[in-house]
Structure 1
Amino acid sequence: MACRRHRPPTVCQATGWFLRHPDTLESDEHQLLQTLAADCPALAALREHVRAFAQMMMRRTGEGLEQWMKRVQADDLPELHSFVTGLRRDFDAADVGPTLPHNFGKVEGHVNRVKMLKPQMYGLPIDGPSIR
């Protein structure tokens, strides 16, 4: 997947490009992402599936989740198949979740804050080993 004119991107860089909204990509990042997708059909399919899932989440339209999962299963993308398997385990929540106006943003923020404070209580550095 090496680019013709540029050094190949790292996995981390490419992942970031796939997960970011296309409007936030720099022109060279967009071009490199286009090149990656053109060079590898599996990456092109992955890109479309990720984009479609992100649109469902952003627009809060969980009604299309079942069709999205069927399209993913039709492609040879084992990592996404694993994700779909997890969604199917609790399909009722996954299907209705994006359509609800509620979210757990505040709760998750407090959980993260507590996770940062807990090591400090034991006298450990913040970036040290976590205590669970």
Structure 2
Amino acid sequence: MVGPRPPRTVAGWILTHPDALQETEGLKLKSALAGCPELDALTRHVRSFGQMLTQRQGERLPEWIAAVRADDLPSLHAFASGLERDLAAVAAGLTLPWSSGVVEDHVNRIKMIKRQMYGRAGFALLRKRVLLA
């Protein structure tokens, strides 16, 4: 019998695509899941959500949320509740090919420059750094 696995290790196995796991890791994960039905259910839900995310299957989101609600996983219920607050936007994000990632990158860059400049210079220098960066 092998001792218990560190939670981070098991979480890493759960979050890794099953095809990308080494054979030994897959067997260790399988043995960890066999001992805990809640962890097995969590793994199924996480992998199902990952499939929706990578294959743009946002139309499956309501059925995924219903499946999560059927299991006794309070942390995942909180995540599902957050998704339900703006279900249309989340479903669109999981379905449509467009992304606001480029815009978010620029906003993040500008905020970083603003934090670096806080209390050191006025708006004119901040503007110059943003335009030249």
Give the structure-2-normalised TM-score. Answer: 0.78
Q: 1:109 to 1:15 in 2, by over 3 A?
A: farther
Matched, 1:41 2:37: yes
SS in 2 for 1:45: helix
Partner of 1:76: 72
1:86 is the counterpart of 2:86: no
1:47-58 alignment runs, 5 A limit: 47-58=43-54
**Percent of pairs with identical residues:** 49
Partner residue in 2 for 1:14:
10
Could you tell me which residue of structure 2 aligns to residue 105 of structure 1? 101
Residues 1:27 and 1:102: Cα distance change in structure 2 (over 3 Å): same
**C-alpha RMSD over aligned residues:** 2.1
TM-score normalised by L of structure 1? 0.78
Q: 1:61 corresponds to which letter in structure 2? A: Q
Unpaired runs of 5+ in structure 1? 123-132
Query: Which has the higher mean CA deviation after the structures are superposed, 91-100 or 63-72?
Result: 91-100
Q: Which has the larger radius of gyration?
A: 2
Matched, 1:32 2:28: yes
Name structure 2 gaps, 5 residues minimum. Answer: 119-133
CA shift for structure 1 position 21: 0.9
Higher helix proportion: 2
Structure 1 runs of 4+ with >3 Å offset: 107-122
Q: Tell me the CA shift for residue 107 of structure 1.
A: 3.4
Return closer, same or farther for 1:118/1:9 CA change in 2, 3 Å cut-off.
farther
